[in-house]
Each structure stands twice: as C-alpha cells, then as structure tokens.
Amino acid sequence: MSSRNRFAPEVYIQGILSGDRILLSRAITLVESSLESDKVLAAAVVEGILPFTGKSIRIGITGVPGVGKSTFIESFGALLVEKGHKLAVLAIDPSSQQTKGSILGDKTRMETLARDQRAYIRPSPAGSTLGGVSAKTREAMLLCEAAGFDVIIIETVGVGQSEIAVKGMVDFFLLLMLAGAGDELQGIKKGIVEMCDALVINKADGEMAEAAKRARREYANALHLFPAKESFWFPQVKVCSGLTASGLPEIWEMIQEYRDKVQGNGFFDANRSQQRVNWMHEHIRFLLETTFYQHPLVQKSIKEMEIGVKNGIYSSIAKAKQLVELFYKSQSS
C-alpha cells in the first residue's frame, strides 16, 4: 500500500467502528508496516480506537504441528458464529520469515470459515524478532475488537517462545494435544502446561477415541501435581474432534465458566491491566534493540567483530560491551 493510499486517522477509526472490513484490513496492514510515517499514523489509529476495545474474550490456542489446530479452529469457529458471536482469528509465527507461507496456509485450510462474513481470519507476518510480532498481533487484536469481534482467537503456528508471547496477550490459553504420540505423562512440557488453562486432546475420533479417553485420565491425574494458579482456576482436560465437532460445545462452556469465575474474583481485570504494563515494557525493549542494530556505527562495526568472535580472537562479552559503549557514545555526542 503506497503512501497515496493512506487515509487520515479518523477515516480508519470511523471505518473500523462501523465494521468496514476493508478499512480494518488496511489498518492492520498499517500497524504491520515498518515505515516511520506509517508507525506514526498507526499509533494515532490505535489510540483512537482504544476506548472501544476490551469487550471480547481473547483465546490463545497452541499445539505442536500436526495436532490439528486449523481443523479445530474452523470447527470451533463455526460453532461460535452459529451461537451469534463475531470471530476474529489471528496467527503469530516467529519462524515464518524463514518458512514463509505457514500462516497463509491456515487461511487456505480454514476455507469455509474464511468465507463466513461473521468471521475474520488474518495472517500476521512475522518480523525479525518475537517482540515485533507480538506488538503487531496485539494491535491487530485491538483493531478487531473495535470492529465488533467479540471472540478473538490467537493461534501459535510456531513452537517455543511464541507460546509465552501468546499467553501474555490472551485471557484463556488452550493447549491442544494428541493421544498416543508417546508416553502421555512424559510428553507434558511442564512450562507450557503451567501456562495453560485447559488441555484438550484433539482427534478423539475413530480408532483414537479410546486412546484419547485414557490420555485424558492420565493428564487429569498429572495436573493435580501442579501448584494452584493465581486465577484460582484449576486447568481442565477435555477431549474433542475438530473433524466431527464432538466435544466442542463443552469446550466453549468451559471457557465461559472460566470467564465467569475470573471476572467474579477480580483476576480477569487485574490480568489485563498487568498485560498492558508488560506490553509497554516489552515494546520498550524491542524499540531499544531495533534502534541499536539499525544504528550506522553499529552496522559498520558489528560484522568485523562477529568474525573475530566466531574465530575466537575476540571475547564475546568484551565486544558486546564495546558495541554498546560505541552506541551510547554516539547518542551523547
């Protein structure tokens, strides 16, 4: 989108608030842009829609490749829109810069949901750092809320740090698992399970139905070993089939039960407030890192230093300190 296609902030804001999907998509493209002029315009748009955000339930969904996230989200999304909800699906994938197309593939796989006017599926391109991706996904989420979407699903396509990023921007974090993918109890990654509010065993159909039930019992027993959450919500284990849609109504009921509980005990609002503060500090770190690496003196010196460090000639710590001092010296001069 060239500069001549940019509008005044008020045009984006009014378009988003009226539910104009074209202006919503253009606004998301704007927040994804790396142009400085676009960043200024995007900031004005996001500030303008802020009073109209926060009325959705934000759901994070993660799971290893092959667990059936796209099929699950399409079936779950169909259930939600039939219940009268407006659904936005966003994806976060810090590795997509290398793999390309992994997020765009989700839109292709969720073809039926993508055609439904009650749903909005947005591929979110990754930047060079997770911090950049997180910021863009968060702003896209706020724009979707202002456009009237009352259920936001944020899907992690990659694995690893992306789960932490998504957990930090949602209300409810759902981990999809498979039965029979190895030893059930040893297969639980402690860090991810501690973050999740529900563990759902997908593909519980056909020959895998019984295995999924057994896995559910084992996971439920294992979860009792984890400490209580700050939300006072005890993570539940469910089974479902994204293919046949069995078990999906129970999952939505569980999410509603969670929302009622944490809104009642004050955790819901406290968590969102802390997330906003965390987002600010995270973005400060991202901006500082970006400014540092884009500085001409750093770019001029860093390659030579990297070669010396790689060959064992220079100390990694000494050269890092030298680069930072070079950067700060240029800032003060």
Q: C-alpha distances in angstroms, 256 versus 234, 244, 321? A: 14, 22, 50
Burial class (CB in 10 A: 0-12, 13-18, 19+), 281: exposed
Amino acid 145: pLDDT: 98
- For residues 120 and 140, give the distance between their C-alpha atoms in angstroms, rounded to a whole number: 12
CB neighbour list of residue 286: distance below 8 Å, 6 or more residues apart: 129, 131, 132, 135
DSSP category for residue 147: T
pLDDT computed for residue 107 by the predictor: 57
- Terminal Cα-to-Cα distance of the chain (whole angstroms): 37
Least confident residue range of 21-25, 97-101, 150-154, 291-295: 97-101
Q: Is the pTM of this model over 0.75?
A: yes
pLDDT in tens, 64-86: 778 899 899 999 999 999 999 99
- The whole-number average pLDDT for the span 118-141 is 75
Calpha distance 28→32 (Å, rounded): 6
Residue 7 has pLDDT above 90, yes or no: yes
The pLDDT confidence band at residue 326, using thresholds 50, 70 and 90, is very high
Q: What is the mean pLDDT of residues 248-277?
A: 97
Separation of alpha carbons 212 and 264, rounded Å: 33
Locate tokens 């906003």: which residue?
276
Integer Cα distance of 110 and 112 in angstroms: 6
User: Across residues 206-211, what is the average pLDDT?
Assistant: 88
CA separation, residue 81 to residues 112, 118, 255, 305 (Å): 12, 6, 15, 55
Select from 19, 155, 154, 151 the least CA-distant residue to 87. 151
Rg over CA atoms, the chain: 22
The pLDDT of residue 223 is 80
**What tens digit of pLDDT does each residue of 139-170 get?**
999 999 999 999 999 988 655 667 788 889 99
User: Are the beta carbons of 1 and 29 closer than 8 angstroms?
Assistant: yes
**For residue 172, is pLDDT > 50?**
yes
Q: Identify how many contiguous H helices and E strands the chain contains and give both numbers.
A: 15, 7
Q: Helix-strand-coil percent breakdown of the chain, rounded to 5?
A: 60, 10, 30
Domains parsed from the chain with CATH numbers? 1-52 (1.20.5), 53-265 (3.40.50.300), 295-332 (no CATH)
At 102 the pLDDT is: 44
What angle (nearest 5°) sits at the alpha carbon of residue 89, between those of residues 4 and 281? 75
Sign of torsion over alpha carbons 224, 65, 95, 33: negative
For residue 236, the surrounding DSSP H or E stretch is strand 236-239
Q: Which tokens belong to 179? A: 């039965």
Q: Could you count the other beta carbons within 10 Å of the beta carbon of residue 101? A: 10
Q: What average pLDDT is seen over the chain?
A: 87
pLDDT at 158: 56
Per-residue model confidence (pLDDT) at position 226: 79
Looking at residues 34-44, what average pLDDT do you find?
A: 93
Residue 247 pLDDT level (bands cut at 50, 70, 90): very high
Q: Are 174 and 195 in contact (CB under 8 A)?
A: no
Query: Can you give the pLDDT at residue 9?
Result: 96
pLDDT at 236 over 80: yes
pLDDT of residue 96: 45
